[in-house]
Amino acid sequence: MNVYNNWVLISGGFGLIGSNLVKHLYRTTSYNFLIIDDLSSGNKDNLREIISDKKRIITLVKKVENLTSEIINNYSIKISMVFHFASRASPKDFHDHPIDIMMTNSIGTKNMLDIALSYGAHFVFASTSEIYGDPLEHPQDESYKGNVSPIGIRSCYVESKRFSEAMIDAYRRKYNLKTLILRIFNTYGLEFGINDGRVIPNFIFNAIKRQELIIYGDGMQTRSFCHVRDLVKGILEIMMVDDAYGEVFNIGNPQEISIIELAKLVLSITGSESNLTFKEIDVFDPRKRSPNIKKIQSYIDWKPKITLEEGLQEIINNIQ
């Protein structure tokens, strides 16, 4: 294949998931990369090992909602894959940057779809378990339609991701675009920034600093955490399967843990004696969340392998 014509356009390429995806594809394929990222939650340092390879990696610091086909055409490259992975995803950002999130996942999604269409490229979208809201079915499979609200702190993320899915489905139906929607459940990894605000980095950084761990509600709400390297392996496999295009897949680790158990696990691994402090929980905070991953497993031979203990230990070792 002509390497010159073999470009990936990825939004959010400096984020937790995007950077791991780029790193892996860089090492295992001949793809070149045009990364668009506004650095709102991503960090260039996440690609420090490969970013200096200017022949294969171009960086555009820009908001995806301001991206146009003309801007991309100026690069004179042929794009065969488009990944729309940009978006702030921390509930902390739902408070602080709701409109930004909605723009990324509405106009931003449309812009990325139009570029994919103009190049006849395949389109892969990082959707989210949030589209199930506070689920009444457990674990959640892809046919579950969700228990969601257009009003509330999390709605900017939930509803704009749902809008994105609907927009992608419309492009698939109207233009026959090859689209792949991945509903990504809670993901964690080394690339979490200190101010990320999600539960794993909060607990780890506070435990190490011997500061209190804040638990919202009674801590009995559950999540299922997938290590980003496991997640990316699954993405890389499913994106190679022709029949997967046009489909929607859950992807994540079904192993479920309550937030209080997670706090205790972090304290035990760090050897910290930080106190647990309980605070009021947001009314829309999902009570339970775990993916049913049977559908993706019927397409690829994949399952998450890194245990939560191993993954947490790796992050803690990296900080200490």
CB of residue 168 to ligand UDP, shortest distance in Å:
21
Contact set with ligand UDP (CB under 6 A): 91, 186, 198-199, 202, 214-216, 221, 223, 259, 281, 285
CB of residue 221 to ligand UDP, shortest distance in Å:
4
Whether the CB-CB separation of 67 and 108 falls below 8 Å is answered with: yes
Which has the closest alpha carbon to 108: 191, 176, 9?
Answer: 9
Of 26, 119, 132, 157, the catalytic one is 157
175 catalytic? Reply is no
Which has the closest alpha carbon to 269: 203, 211, 221, 216?
Answer: 203
CB of residue 281 to ligand UDP, shortest distance in Å:
6
> Sign of torsion, CA 286 290 291 294?
negative
Give 66 or 147: the residue with its C-beta nearer to ligand UDP.
Answer: 147
CA atoms of 223 and 226, how far apart (whole Å): 10
Integer Rg of the chain from CA: 19
CB of residue 62 to ligand UDP, shortest distance in Å:
26
Give 102 or 239: the residue with its C-beta nearer to ligand UDP.
Answer: 102
Residues 6+ apart with CB under 8 A from 185: 128, 129, 223, 224, 226, 250, 251, 252, 253, 289, 290, 291
CB of residue 245 to ligand UDP, shortest distance in Å:
28
CA atoms of 46 and 37, how far apart (whole Å): 12
CA separation (Å) from 122 to 11, 21, 115, 125, 312? 14, 16, 10, 10, 34
Give 169 or 314: the residue with its C-beta nearer to ligand UDP.
Answer: 314
Give me the active site residues, please.
157
